[in-house]
Structure 1
Amino acid sequence: MFVVGGESLIDLVSEPRGPDGVIHMHAHQGGSPYNCAIALSRLGNDTGFLCPISRDGFGSYLLEPLAAAGVSTLLEQRVVAPTTLAVVTLNEKRQAAYEFYRGADRAFTQEGMVQALPEALELYQVGGFCPIVPEDAAIWSEVVRAAIAKGATISIDPNVRPSLVDDFAGYKARLSTFLDLAHVIKMSEEDLAALEPSLSIEAHSAALLARPNCELVVVTLGEKGSLAYTASGRAQAGIWAPPVFGDTVGAGDSLMAGVLSYLREKNVLRPGQLKTLGNGELEAMLRFGAVVAGLNCGQVGCKPPTRAEVDAVLNA
């Protein structure tokens, strides 16, 4: 089984105030780990999601896409804490400002999460908010170590958000602990710039590959595509543009799911094999991920494609 650990939340998107003076808001399910778990399952992987779900109405709303995609919710008991909210305010130019109100995504115990891990665990992905709060980071890192003890390959997609962190130096130190445990590291160029703006992408990637366990680094570049690095190769691929564009919500999460799915199908999603991937294999991996992300971008909101939809593009 693939397991993704991290937050689920509701994006409450506020439109600019209209002539009636009323603020209108739209609720969307979200959270980077949540999106990735759904994308992995829709691509045909047996997938579990490790995050507390609230008893409230938003919690039920979050469960619907998980169930539709066939994702197993590993923490079956729903919690009293309210669903975590991300309030997104758009100005007249549709530029977004974010405020987070955290609740259910932090309502966990180390014992409960470790016990919820399946025995057959091929991959464990951590990311999102996990390194933000010191006490949470300590628990999440122990969950990662428990997954390693079960033989899991570890991947991470941190989604660095400086606006969420009071002590960025402390955050970087906590994130470093997770990066040292990971075999696959995905970051956006914005993530890398936030962590250390003076370094080039190549320098960042070399430093990540020099960490104790890292064998594959993937860097997303937005409209410019993506890059991949191992000790044996380097590759770049462009985006796959859908015929009709929706938006980019969940594009990076979908690409990550595509990368992990591709590696699993090629039987190289394990330490020792990842570092042997050369230029051609890395390029094919990125192109597969680009199609997954591109099909998602053909929708409004995060709606990752099925494997059949991906195959239809690849075989066209």
Structure 2
Amino acid sequence: MIVVAGEALIDLVPDRPATAGPAADPALPALLPRRGGGPYNTAVALGRLGSPTAFCSRISTDGFGEALMAGLQEDGVDTALVQRGAEPTTLAVASIASDGSAGYGFYVEGTADRLFELPEALPDSVRAMCFGTCSLVLEPGATAYESLLRRSADEGIFTVLDPNIRTGLIPDADAYRERFRGWLPSVGLLKLSMEDAAWLAGGQDPAAAAREWLTAGPAAVVLTHGRDGISALTRDGSDHAVPGVQVEVVDTIGAGDTVNAALLHRLAAHEALSADAVAKLDEAAWRDVLGFAARAAAITCSRPGAQPPYAAEL
């Protein structure tokens, strides 16, 4: 089983681009509620691909929370590790640029997901865990998720980290970068976008920074390059890459989360859910894993909101 740990929230996505200027429509776009959150999307994507998956989080008992729970169950994701609370659901208001890229503003004060508590134990069947996004920023839950990451690594569980930076939620960039470096010894696979790599590098060349991060713990660093594809850097100095799959982009919501899920799903197919196994993958295996992830992400980008593909679509 693969466990995804982190927040579940509601994306409020505009139904059309906002207009500006004297002739602009004075009515603001309607905001359509969509189930989301990076870890939530990853769990759903894994379920749709057919991987045995569980979600570990805290979800509200409000109407949005019930919808989030229903979405997990519809796609076969185990919810036994989900904590529930009466606090409201986090909201993320999305803005969509002309190229389909998404930006977010967050409403997070007093919400359920940030009150996550460290679970006593995980099932013996857990082979891998995935962490990231807001859940590793917002306290007090961030400390609980960090403790779960370290404990899982100590227990020999393969760990994947996608920082998925949301700068508006990070009050002290340098402190976060230092905390990020402290996670790396507990990370088996680090996946991040080139934009996130550049931000975390803090002015250093992101490719050089990725090589430095490799020496701290991960067996590989996977970098997404938008329409230009996906690459993987490994401890032995290899650099594997595949091109992007060209589609008409509706928006990029959930694309990176789909990559997380596709990587884990395909690594499992190669019996590579461990740092040692990842380190032994050859060029052909990496091209297969990265190519699968690129195809999956392209499908997500071709439709609105975080709608990752089902196995049959690939």
Structure 1: distance between partners of 2:54 and 2:126 = 10
Counterparts of 1:39-54 in structure 2, within 5 Å, are 39-54=45-60
Cα deviation for residue 197 of structure 1 reads 4.6
Cα deviation for residue 4 of structure 1 reads 0.5
When residues 235 and 91 of structure 1 are mapped into structure 2, their CA distance, relative to the original with a 3 A threshold, is: closer
Cα deviation for residue 306 of structure 1 reads 1.7
Per the alignment, residue 226 of structure 1 pairs with: 230
Does the Cα contact within 8 Å between 2:245 and 2:295 map onto a contact in 1?
yes
Does the Cα contact within 8 Å between 2:58 and 2:112 map onto a contact in 1?
yes
Per the alignment, residue 37 of structure 1 pairs with: 43
Any idea what the Cα deviations from partners look like across 1:284-314, whole Å, max 9, x if unmatched? Answer: 211111111112222222111122221xxxx
Structure 1 residue runs of 4+, over 4 Å off? 17-23, 89-97
When residues 22 and 191 of structure 1 are mapped into structure 2, their CA distance, relative to the original with a 3 A threshold, is: closer
**Residues 1:164 and 2:169 aligned together:** yes
When residues 76 and 30 of structure 1 are mapped into structure 2, their CA distance, relative to the original with a 3 A threshold, is: closer
Per the alignment, residue 78 of structure 1 pairs with: 84
Cα deviation for residue 199 of structure 1 reads 2.8
**Residues 1:137 and 2:175 aligned together:** no
Structure 2: distance between partners of 1:188 and 1:92 = 20
Does the Cα contact within 8 Å between 1:234 and 1:279 map onto a contact in 2?
no
Any idea what the Cα deviations from partners look like across 1:141-177, whole Å, max 9, x if unmatched? Answer: 2112332344310100010122211111121122222
**Residues 1:107 and 2:110 aligned together:** no
Cα deviation for residue 59 of structure 1 reads 0.7
Aligned residues: 305
- One-letter amino acid of the counterpart of residue 196, structure 1: A
Provide the secondary structure at the position in 2 that maps to 1:187: strand
Identical residues among aligned pairs (%): 33
Q: Provide TM-score, normalisation by structure 1.
A: 0.88
Structure 2: distance between partners of 1:210 and 1:257 = 24
Any idea what the Cα deviations from partners look like across 1:110-129, whole Å, max 9, x if unmatched? Answer: 2xx234x2222100111011
When residues 250 and 93 of structure 1 are mapped into structure 2, their CA distance, relative to the original with a 3 A threshold, is: closer
Tell me whether 147-156 or 87-96 shows the greater mean CA deviation. Answer: 87-96
Structure 2: distance between partners of 1:49 and 1:172 = 26
When residues 22 and 204 of structure 1 are mapped into structure 2, their CA distance, relative to the original with a 3 A threshold, is: closer
Per the alignment, residue 8 of structure 2 pairs with: 8
Does the Cα contact within 8 Å between 2:214 and 2:235 map onto a contact in 1?
yes
Cα deviation for residue 80 of structure 1 reads 0.6
Per the alignment, residue 26 of structure 1 pairs with: 32
- One-letter amino acid of the counterpart of residue 6, structure 1: G
Structure 1: distance between partners of 2:28 and 2:208 = 49
Structure 2: distance between partners of 1:156 and 1:262 = 16
Structure 1: distance between partners of 2:260 and 2:83 = 28
Cα deviation for residue 138 of structure 1 reads 2.3
Counterparts of 1:267-306 in structure 2, within 5 Å, are 267-306=271-310
Structure 1: distance between partners of 2:301 and 2:202 = 28
